[in-house]
Amino acid sequence: MTEIFTRIEHSRTADEVVQQIESLILEGVLRTGDKLPGERELARQFEVSRPILRDALKALEVRGLLVTRHGGGTFVADVIGQVFSKPVIELISSHRKAAFDYLEYRREMEGVAAEYAARRATADDLALLDTIMARMDAAHRNADFEAEAEVDVEFHHAIGESAHNIILLHTLRSCYRLLSEDVFQNRLLVFTLPGARESLLEQHRAIYAGIAAKDPAAARKAAMDHIAYVEQITAQAERAGDWRRVSRLRRQQRSDQSNN
């Protein structure tokens, strides 16, 4: 694992270790499920004693930021999942209007994130986005719907990180969590529509191009146009799914009638 922790200056107390790990979680460097280095290695990187490190890790665990698995190590806790509680997620998944409100909200937030990313993205941010775009191209060539959907979410995650706004980062992460957990069952339907995959790929390229060119207006427009398109084809995919369902039922009913 690349060393993301730095030596503690000054008094080298547990509080300073806590603050550094808190900052890494808050800034999105450490993400849900990330495993921390072992105790010996972590103490070495911080240059603190192991008792001090244990006190810091315990304090973070008590606050729900870390979780220790017996014999498995220490991990970043599922802090994102707390933004949308289970009852709220169930309500969202069972009410059709929520899906469209979700996209309406994302259209605005994605626009802001892309604009900020175009202003603030570092060379490392752009390198990560470039890598993700290469994976997106590969998934598209292989016509792997699941992989395309997965890298799509990762792409938007990376833009949220490149915006370098903590509140925006965690708000968007909570939104993407709904996608990752298939709260919206029609998520993969859009990839089955003729021409949709090609359009989505080009839209992602346009967003990336605006960010890479440091053009905030272009990046914002491309992001908002992308979500507007997703709104449109989501509705279209649902209608097409309903048509197929009704046609299948009609055919089955008439076949049953002719056999009677």
Mean pLDDT of the chain: 87
The answer to whether the 14-76 and 86-252 domains have the same CATH topology is no
Q: Return the pLDDT at 11.
A: 67
**Tens-digit pLDDT profile for residues 43-86:** 999 999 999 999 999 999 999 999 998 888 999 998 775 667 77
Structural tokens at position 182: 């298939």
**Which position has the token pair 């709104």?**
231
Q: Return the pLDDT at 235.
A: 79
Identify the residue with better confidence: 88 or 34: 34
**Tens-digit pLDDT profile for residues 107-141:** 999 999 999 999 999 999 999 999 999 999 999 99
Ramachandran angles phi, psi of 206, nearest 5°: -65, -40
In CATH, the architecture of 14-76 is Orthogonal Bundle (1.10)
User: CA-to-CA distance for 221 and 15, rounded, in angstroms?
Assistant: 43
The pLDDT of residue 240 is above 70? no
Query: How far does CA 125 lie from the centroid of its chain?
Result: 15
| Whole-structure pTM value | 0.78
Q: Where are the domains of the chain?
A: 14-76, 86-252
The pLDDT of residue 185 is above 60? no
In CATH, the architecture of 86-252 is Up-down Bundle (1.20)
**Tens-digit pLDDT profile for residues 12-21:** 789 999 999 9
Helix segments in the chain, DSSP class H:
14-26, 39-46, 50-62, 86-94, 96-120, 123-141, 145-162, 166-180, 196-212, 216-258
Q: Return the pLDDT at 168.
A: 94
Q: How many CA atoms lie within 13 A of 115 on its CB side?
A: 11
Structural tokens at position 69: 């698995």
